[in-house]
Amino acid sequence: MRDGLAAIVPGYETDMPAFGGILTDDEITSILAFIKSTWRDRERDYQAARTAAHET
């Protein structure tokens, strides 16, 4: 999440920082694309199904 969980849960504290102020949207997209490139077909199919369900 670009701005961290605090963006949707006010007051939420975590040790994992948000990357919105460090990485550009294009850099975040590139990192996610790299991570997804390491997934097996099963994980890709699962994510595609979740994405399709969310878009309807």
Which amino acid does the sequence have at 12?
Y
Identify the DSSP state of 19. Answer: -
Q: Report the pLDDT averaged over residues 12-41.
A: 84
Give Cα separations from 35 to 24, 40, 54 (angstroms): 17, 11, 21
pTM of the model: 0.57
Please check the confidence at residue 26 and state whether its pLDDT lies above 70: yes
Question: Which pLDDT score, from 0 to 100, does residue 14 have?
Answer: 74
Question: Which pLDDT score, from 0 to 100, does residue 1 have?
Answer: 60
Please check the confidence at residue 6 and state whether its pLDDT lies above 80: no
